Amino acid sequence: MASREELNARRELAKKLHRAATAKVSRHMKKGVKLEGTNKDPRHADIKHVNKLTAKQLDAHISRLQTFTSRKTQYLPGAGKNAILSGDLYRQFESVKKQVNAKRAAVYESVKDIQIPTYNNMTVSQLQGQVPDHPTIQSPSSHAPHLPVKTTNKGIKNDKQLKKSIKALQSELAEGHSEKIIARDQKVMRKFFKDINKVNKGEPVKNLRKDFWSLTPEQFAFLWKYTRFADAASQDYETAKAHMHDPKGLGEASETFDTQIRHMQNLVNDVKRMRF
């Protein structure tokens, strides 16, 4: 059992740490991080409250204060009013983001100068230069594997979202990630051919299906990521879906549909000649 002198010494330490914590809260406030009154703030409302704590309670309180006042414990403002992010988590996010961006840049460097005949021999970099930074979900550029991750603390709401972002980036660095992405995107095309077949059983579609599935995984990845093949597939799929139950079939939309199928076939032909 602690003596009175020992308890008084602990209480003085707790008060000293309380004042240090208050100074730290003030410094963070100047940076736009409001810690006071949040679950991050270990202080009691009244510094004199420590006089009422038992030895066990004092030890726990001192431990929380020491953790909070440590230089390792920092916070950043997040997205939205009074949003707070843990500094250690954000440092981890920045580290993983840097690795992902380096990996993306290295992969893109290996393909950016490849010419695509269907686009008048434009290179991948020239074609991607025509793509907006914030593409729509239907666009093949939504995969945009060459674009760096630009998210900062101002785009993250809380630690939960921050952890989710870290996990997503780590998965991109994990072994087998590329194979999983290829399998996911090929699943999209299986559904595409299955549904397209309901409205168009012509030779162009049959030939496209045959040539498409003859591509190697590397060729498929290039086709999907760095050309507008996925965009053409999306447009044809929407056209087909809109006419799926129309007794007249595609009708006036058939010309647009056929044009996209030819475009897709040309791209497949281009990529079949490439070696990775």
- Tens of pLDDT, residue by residue over 84-117, are 999 999 999 999 999 999 999 999 999 999 999 9
Assigned token pair, 76: 């950043």
The tens digit of pLDDT for each residue in 159-200 reads 999 999 999 999 999 999 999 999 999 999 999 898 888 777
Which among 259, 264, 140 is positioned nearest to 212, based on CA atoms? 264
Q: How far apart are the first and last CA of the chain?
A: 73
Cα–Cα distances (Å) from 187 to 15, 64, 180, in that order, read 62, 50, 11
What local confidence, expressed as pLDDT, does residue 45 receive?
A: 80
Q: What is the pLDDT of residue 138?
A: 39
What is the residue-averaged pLDDT of the chain?
88
Handedness of CA 104, 107, 113, 116 (dihedral sign): negative
Query: What was the pLDDT predicted at 250?
Result: 57
> CA-CA distance, 127 to 134, in Å (whole number)?
15
Q: What is the pTM of this model?
A: 0.81
Spans of the chain below 50 pLDDT: 134-142
